[in-house]
Structure 1
Amino acid sequence: MELAENALEAASAPWIGARDLAILLLLYGAGLRVAEALSLTARVLPLGATLRVTGKRNKARIVPVVPAVKEAIEAYVAQCPYPLSGDARLFVGARGGPLNPDLVRRSVAAARRRLGLPETLTPHALRHSFATHLLARGADLRAIQELLGHASLSSTQIYTAVDAARLLDVYRHAHPRA
């Protein structure tokens, strides 16, 4: 993920780059919202195969933690100069306090500009990419709904339109009679 690597390289300190990389991979790898990722506490450590996340309307859900995400978070924790235990936030700012969500958005925007990527690439777009890629690989819409923490299936169905448009494009380019 070029965006995450660029954010890592541009950080003011190695541990901050590791933190930003871990957050970006968590947004894409687990489909979290920025607020959900930043609300995680050190109680999630040590990481297992899943993570309990509290989303909108205090709704809890379980999401899988893929190896790349787990490794990135462990690398950040190993480098973080602040104690991470108990109810302390997992992701902290440069002075050890809670990390501001705007800092994550600004970090992504700066990396996006450096890479010449479109303005539509936002932290929330990583969550959308998570869902779209799962759907494209055959994941069940209900499973995606659960992973994203959507209360209604209609909120999740927007991804079928994206996937249908992609399939139609593939059809038009590949079918001899299209």
Structure 2
Amino acid sequence: MSEDMALFHFAADVTPIARAWLATLKSERRLAAKTLEAYISDLTQFGGFLQEHLGEAASISLLAGLDASDFRSFLARRRNDGIESRSLARQLSAIRSFFRHAERNGHFKCAALAAVRTPKIPHSVPRPLTEDQSHKLVTDVVLEQDEAWIQARDMAVLTLLYGCGLRISEALGLTVKQSEQNPLVIIGKGGKERLVPMVPAAVEAITAYRKLAPMPLLPSMPLFRGAKGGALSPRIIQLLMERLRGAMNLPDSATPHALRHSFASHLLGNGADLRVIQDLLGHASLSSTQIYTEVNRKHLLEQYRKAFPKA
């Protein structure tokens, strides 16, 4: 890391503080070289902005006198430059770190920074599998070391995740009695109840598993059981997905939750209404469903062409 990179566009009395901050990050927090370079870039951009914004290089007294609007103006400028929320949040984190260092070491304090909110980072969801990958996954659950009933159980669980869009906790929380109902009555987040139709493949998979299960499956008992007879742990399904990724050459995005995401994305891609998908997923707001299904421009344009009156 070159010392020449750490000029930061600040006034002469601030540059030594910035250098000491970097040295602390390197020695005490042991940040990687690329992370340190990112922090240098973040603070340099902030210093350059202040030089333009204030009309001069920021000194200790100017930094101490900044108000919340100054920081927000910097974030707005970066947003206008096309910087996304995740990068903005990192930049603000670097700035906070520098200002905390300055305060701890008695150089200056800027109370206004505490009033600046971190940009909201959009909820991320796993990338969906393709339809071919999803179908292959739920129809070819065969790993040689597994007993036949365990293979049938695993296929039933994966079919519920993809074919019905259930969360893994919802699938493993089903009782035997619940599984006999179609549509399923699912109690989701916040105790909210929803109805989820079971596709024929899911009904067949559950029936096959129940026929092979070596333990009694009474109505009030958990439907899916572990090898020792207790309720099946989510970790078992997570490990199963790891093994299947290797056996079937699937991408790293093939996780249990990715199957729920694939369910929603494939419904959307085949013309299902977002409101219907929202109900099936149990989302409280449509905005959650829009993020979850990654509404794409192609689909929106197709819907626009269908709905817009022809001249």
TM-score range, shorter chain: 0.7 to 0.9
RMSD: 1.8
Aligned partner letter, 1:129: S
Q: Is the 8 A contact 1:11 1:17 kept in 2?
A: no
- Aligned-partner SS, 1:8: coil
Give 1:7 deviation, angstroms. 2.9
**Which residue is equivalent to 1:114?**
247
Shift of 1:8: 3.0
Match of 2:156 among 17, 22, 25: 22
Q: Select the residue among 233, 239, 257 that pairs with 1:124.
A: 257
Closer/same/farther in 2, CA of residues 118 and 59 from structure 1, 3 Å limit: same
One of 164, 167, 173 as aligned partner of 1:39: 173
- Give the structure-1-normalised TM-score: 0.87
Identical pairs, percent: 51
Q: Is contact 2:188-2:282 (8 Å) kept?
A: yes
1:52 aligned to 2:185?
yes
Query: What is the aligned length?
Result: 167
Give structure 2 stretches of 5+ with no counterpart.
1-134, 302-311
The CA distance in 2 between the partners of 1:80 and 1:146, in whole Å, is 32
Higher mean C-alpha deviation, range 156-165 or range 99-108 = 156-165
Distance in 1, Cα, partners of 2:223 & 2:217 = 6
Q: Distance in 2 between matches of 1:165 and 1:55?
A: 31
Q: Choose from 134, 142, 145 the match for 1:8.
A: 142
Counterpart residue number, 2:41:
none
Q: Is the Cα–Cα contact under 8 Å of residues 261 and 293 in structure 2 kept in the other structure?
A: no
Q: Is the 1:8–1:20 Cα contact (8 Å) retained in structure 2?
A: no
Structure 1 spans left out of the alignment, 5+ residues: 169-178
Determine the C-alpha separation between the residues in 2 that align with 1:162 and 1:13.
Answer: 40
- Residue 145 (1) aligns with residue 278 (2): yes
Q: In structure 1, what residue type is equivalent to 2:282?
A: G
Equivalents in 1 of 2:188, 2:194: separation in Å? Answer: 8
Which structure is larger by alpha-carbon Rg, 1 or 2? 2
Once the two structures are TM-superposed, the CA of residue 85 in structure 1 deviates from its matched residue by 1.3
Q: Secondary structure at the match of 1:125?
A: helix
The separation in 1 between residues aligned to 2:144 and 2:295, in whole angstroms, is: 32
- Shift of the 117–48 alpha-carbon distance from structure 1 to 2, 3 Å rule, reads same
Q: Say whether residues 1:101 and 2:234 are aligned partners.
A: yes
Deviations 1:70-89 (A, max 9, x none): 00000001110111112210
